[in-house]
Structure 1
Amino acid sequence: MRITVFRKLMADEFGSVRGEMVAHDHVLSALGGLTPDQALESGLPPKEIWLAVCDAFDVPEQRR
């Protein structure tokens, strides 16, 4: 998954503004205490980050 796809999925799921806020501000234990943006910057795969976000926010399986 590309970062652009990750950003689109975030916007589609949460709305563009809230998606950016979640990516920037929400710390996820599944990502070692990083926010999604920090995890991207550290080199974690976008798909792994997306799945961690989905788990944290109970995104239904069909939208993952």
Structure 2
Amino acid sequence: MRMSHFWTLLEDEFGPTYAGSLARDHVLGALGNRTVLQALTDGEPPRAVWDALCEDMGVPEERRLGRSTRVARGAPGGQGR
């Protein structure tokens, strides 16, 4: 997972304001009692940080890979045939 994808997932799931607060203040016990930002700064892979945060915050499995915003072909707003 790229860092940009991590931030997109974080903001999509929690909103831009709360995402920033979580990153600064939420301590991840699974990653050595570091905040999200500390863990990332220390070189933890973004995927490991995201997984630990999702576990702590109770994010359901079906939302951990992000929102599906693609529209099916032929649906209103989708690609033409």
What RMSD, in angstroms, separates the aligned Cα atoms of the two structures? 0.5
Regions of 4+ moved over 4 Å: none
In structure 1, C-alpha distance between the alignment counterparts of 2:31 and 2:12, rounded to whole Å: 21
Other-structure match for 1:46:
46
Decide which structure has greater helix share. 1
Instruction: Report the residue type matching 1:55 in the other structure.
Output: E
Q: Gaps (5+ residues) in structure 2?
A: 65-81
Q: TM-score, normalised by structure 1?
A: 0.97
Decide which structure has greater strand share. 2
In structure 2, C-alpha distance between the alignment counterparts of 1:29 and 1:20, rounded to whole Å: 19
Residue 21 (structure 2) pairs with residue 21 (structure 1): yes
In structure 2, C-alpha distance between the alignment counterparts of 1:49 and 1:18, rounded to whole Å: 16
Q: TM-score, normalised by structure 2?
A: 0.77
Among all aligned residue pairs of Structure 1 and Structure 2, give the percentage whose two residues are the same amino acid.
48
